[in-house]
Amino acid sequence: MSASATPRFRAPSRPGALADAALPTDPIHWAGSETASRWSGYLEGAGLSGERAADEVRAALRSTCLGVHSKS
């Protein structure tokens, strides 16, 4: 098979094209290079997207569990 016939993944042509896909869907928080607002389609974008999703989950847990484990 020639190199030109090899299927390859391509990120969206416009950086951040799938950034709206990163919006949480109920308890699901999306992450991946395709959802990154910067470096979309690259490993750096995946890392940044993972950090963003982790921050979202942390904030969601704090808002739903606020005060549950605190001692006054």
Domain extent listing, the chain: 16-61
| pLDDT higher than 60, residue 71 | no
| pLDDT higher than 80, residue 3 | no
Give the ranges where 1-72 is alpha helix by DSSP (H). 43-65
Query: CA 32, 24, 51, 15: dihedral to nearest 10 degrees?
Result: 50
Q: What is the pLDDT of residue 19?
A: 64
Instruction: Tell me if the pTM is above 0.75.
Output: no
Tell me yes or no: is domain 16-61 CATH 1.10.10: yes
Report pLDDT digits (tens) over 13-60: 565 566 677 788 888 898 988 888 888 888 999 999 999 999 999 998
Whether 15 contacts 49, CB under 8 Å: no
Instruction: Supply the DSSP symbol for 28.
Output: B
Q: Report the alpha-carbon angle 71-56-38, nearest 5.
A: 150
| Cα–Cα distance, 50 to 44 (Å, whole number) | 10
